Amino acid sequence: MNTSELLLDAFGRIEEVVREAVDGLDDKTLATRPDGAGNSIAWLVWHLTRIQDDHLANAGSYEQVYTSDGWHERLGLPFDAGDTGYGHSADDVAAVQLSAEQLLGYYDTVHARSLEYLNGLTDNELDRIVDRNWNPPVTLGVRLISVLSDDLQHAGQAAYVRGLLS
């Protein structure tokens, strides 16, 4: 297995968990917040998708599908196009009222674009600096692992919330 194949498999596992967490749920269930204050499935899936879209687009020097494919307008959320959900307040979390079709439509578009970027990625590319705002600067390899970790955690949280609600 090479680097590209490893990353494609890992991102494919996120897709499986996201789909299992969202498929078949109505809008009300997707927006339900555990104890009225926790993160909803809708917010968790929207956020993990925004992080993947934002971070991989930046690393790959391409435009986020959130803006290039019109998902920002289609989802109609009250956030700036650059908002990824990081640091959201309880009111912001509550504002994410999306259907399974919207969530999976955006997710599927980001996932497809991510796989396109990751396909053929080589070991040599992993040491490339993608973010100099940190000390030490962040390499592509570190950024990809960070996105994988964040997305798997949020997908798992969404699956957990689904279990709580069923």
* Cis amide leading into 34 (omega within 30): no
Q: Which of 99, 109, 4, 7 is CA-nearest to residue 64?
A: 109
Question: Stretch 57-73: mean pLDDT, rounded?
Answer: 97
Instruction: Tell me the pLDDT tens digit for each residue of 1-55.
Output: 899 999 999 999 999 999 999 999 999 999 999 999 999 999 999 999 999 999 9
- SS3 (DSSP) at 44: helix
Question: What is this structure's pTM?
Answer: 0.96
pLDDT band at 141 (very low <50, low <70, confident <90, very high): very high
Helix, strand or coil, per DSSP, at residue 119 = coil
| Residue 75 near residue 98, CB atoms below 8 Å | yes
Give the pLDDT confidence of 82-114 residue by residue, as tens digits: 999 999 999 999 999 999 999 999 999 999 999
pLDDT-based confidence at residue 120 (cuts at 50, 70, 90): confident
Nearby residues of 25 by Cβ (< 8 Å), 6 or more positions away: 41, 100, 162
pLDDT > 90? residue 125: yes
